[in-house]
Amino acid sequence: MKYDVVVIGGGSAGYIAAITLARKGLKVLVAEKKKFGGTCVNNGCVSSIFLYDTSFLFARLPDIGNYYGLDINVKLTNSIFNKRNEIVDYLSEAGRKLIENSGAEAVLSNAEIKSEREVRLTDLDKDVEFNWLIIATGSSPDVEGVKGYEYAIDEDRAVNLNYTPSDMIVVGGGYAGVEIAQIYARLGSSVKLLTRSKILKEISDDARQYIYDALDFDGVDIYENRKVKEIMPGGKVVTEDETYEGDIVVLATGRKPNIPRGLCRLGVEYDDDGIVVDKNLRTTNPRVFAAGDVIKKPYVRKTAHIAIVEGLIAALNILGKNVGVEYDYVPQVIYTDPQVAVVGREDKAKKFYKFPLSANTRAIIHGMRDGYVKLGINEDNRLVYGEIVGYNAEELINSITLAVKMKVNVEELSFVPLVHPSISDAIINAARGFNNLDADVFK
């Protein structure tokens, strides 16, 4: 069977590329080895954010109720895990149906590159030909560098547990490790968080302090500057300093690209960080594109939202467009409570202003006053960076992302009449602060 385009991987990048191409009339096949939706739906965003939401409600609802003068009692049951699984399955199946609705063909099978124009669907014992190939095989947890990793579970399995462990040890102080630690601590686990240096070393000291305080409040024991030597049976973690014990050990030690078998047959350049592509997502083989977590990215974290854009760009360039990917305004969110979100290039900012949410009227009404909105501008007074700590930062950062993308002048932003009172109003107050026009704070 011959196709115009074969897409290997049915996750965030693969499904949008396939749908875009099929809707334009091309004959498209998508080969997914496990479940459609990729890491985001099955092992990452959806599972972890559902548990984040659940743990937030369980931990915070009584206090929120008390703030409003309500008496709210919350009972935790294991049905939360069934609901999470239900949502994951729904979204995975929806992804497959969207692909098929576009006119593309969707199959479950491992795929191996057989030659310059052929892919072997190994589980189906079938070879298919292609004119164009898109590699969107994603990433997987990188745990094999830890001795005894077989006695632990990885971050993907951690967010898909069907119970709350009594004692949990999380190894890794990055986004996933900190999120998992707080989620399970709030669900009732006794959690120890071990990291080689300090937690969340990529974020600002101000933002990190909020997370230190939150983890401490939730009972997470943080052990920084701990180098793990070995994981042993029975939930033991041996470091250079001491041995820690728990019911379960989670390794949140980063991710690695899933390089498809037989890639060498295509003459495509790649290394341990992923497949090398140009700004158009074309590899060193002009008939092969790659998108999502499998590609080597310059200075930005690998996320589902940039994977979606990359999949779209790869598809459009196969259709004859000349679209390039840009990484200067990709937002990043840490799903802790409070949330942390950043966008833009802090190194390009010459001046910063931070507006506290404690001075925001809507935050006061809502009872969520912790955090701030911080903006950074360049020498031309244009917005190049945004940082938010606080409730619903995941939504607020999107507005700043648009402003950074459009290189908005901070003085012009100051005169945009956003709804008042609203949490978003803090963005405008931060912009006004550069010219001492933020009237809601004491000077």
The CATH code of the domain that includes 188 is 3.50.50.60
For residues 217 and 309, state if they share a domain.
Answer: no
Place of tokens 């041996």: 238
Cβ atoms of 187 and 158 within 8 Å: the answer is no
The chain-wide mean pLDDT, for the chain, equals: 96
CA 313 to centroid of chain Cα atoms: 20
Share of the chain above pLDDT 70, in %: 100
Q: What is the pLDDT of residues 32-47, one digit of tens each?
A: 999 999 999 999 899 9
- Written as one letter, the residue type at 61 is L
Task: Enter the tokens of residue 134.
Answer: 């898109």
Question: Which residues, listed in sequence order, are joined to residue 135 by a DSSP beta bridge?
Answer: 8, 290
Q: Is residue 23 within 8 Å of residue 103, measured between CB atoms? A: yes
- 233 with 270, same domain: the answer is no
Domain boundaries, position 123: 2-44+81-141+255-318
Contacting residues for 138 by C-beta, under 8 A, at least 6 apart: 9, 11, 13, 38, 39, 257, 258, 292, 293, 294
- In the listed set 288, 318, 348, which residue is the last one of a domain according to the structure? 318
pLDDT band at 299 (very low <50, low <70, confident <90, very high): confident
Instruction: Indicate the pairing of strand 339-344 with strand 332-334.
Output: antiparallel
pLDDT average, residue stretch 261-280: 96
Kindly state the tokens that stand for 393.
């930062």
Per-residue pLDDT band at 298 (split at 50, 70, 90): confident
20 with 109, same domain: the answer is: yes
Residue 439's pLDDT band (boundaries 50, 70, 90)?
confident
Percentage of residues in the chain having pLDDT higher than 90: 96
pLDDT tens-digit map of 44-72: 899 999 999 999 999 999 999 999 999 99
Strand partners, 289: 134, 282
Backbone torsions φ then ψ of 246, nearest 5 degrees: -155, 175
How far is residue 190's CA from residue 159's CA, in Å, rounded to a whole number?
16
Contact 388, 400 (CB under 8 A): yes
pTM tops 0.75: yes
pLDDT number for residue 278: 97
Q: Is residue 65 part of a domain?
A: no
Cα 439 versus chain centre, distance: 35
Cα-based distances in Å from 379 to 79, 349, 350: 53, 8, 6
Distance CA 185, CA 306 (A): 30
227: three-class secondary structure by DSSP: coil
Q: Determine the pLDDT at residue 443.
A: 81
Distance in Å from the first CA to the final CA of the chain? 71
**Residue 127 and residue 14 share a domain:** yes
What does the pLDDT read at residue 124? 96
| Of residues 6, 91, 17, 8, the one with CA closest to residue 307 | 17
Confidence of residue 301 (pLDDT cuts 50, 70, 90): confident
> Is residue 326, in this structure, part of any structural domain at all?
no
Interval 323-350: pLDDT, tens: 999 999 999 999 999 999 999 999 999 9
Pairing of strands 339-344, 383-390: antiparallel
Nearest to 235 by CA among 194, 197, 195: 194
Residues 312 and 260 in one domain: yes
Q: What is the pLDDT of residues 233-270, one digit of tens each?
A: 999 999 998 999 999 999 999 999 999 999 999 999 99
Token pair for 197: 């240096």
In a shared domain, residues 364 and 281: no
**Are 241 and 260 within one domain?**
no
Residue 293 inside a domain? The answer is yes
The per-residue pLDDT for range 357-382, each reduced to its tens digit, is 999 999 999 999 999 999 999 999 99
Q: Same domain, yes or no, for 421 and 275?
A: no
The whole-number pLDDT of residue 57 equals: 97
Tell me what pLDDT residue 45 has.
Answer: 92
83 pLDDT band, cuts 50/70/90, is very high
Q: Are residues 234 and 294 both part of a single domain?
A: no
DSSP helix/strand/coil, 260? coil
Distance separating alpha carbons of residues 343 and 356, to the nearest angstrom: 18
- Amino acid type, 231: I
Q: State how many domains the chain has.
A: 3
What is the structure's pLDDT at 259?
97
Last residue of a domain, one of 268, 286, 318: 318
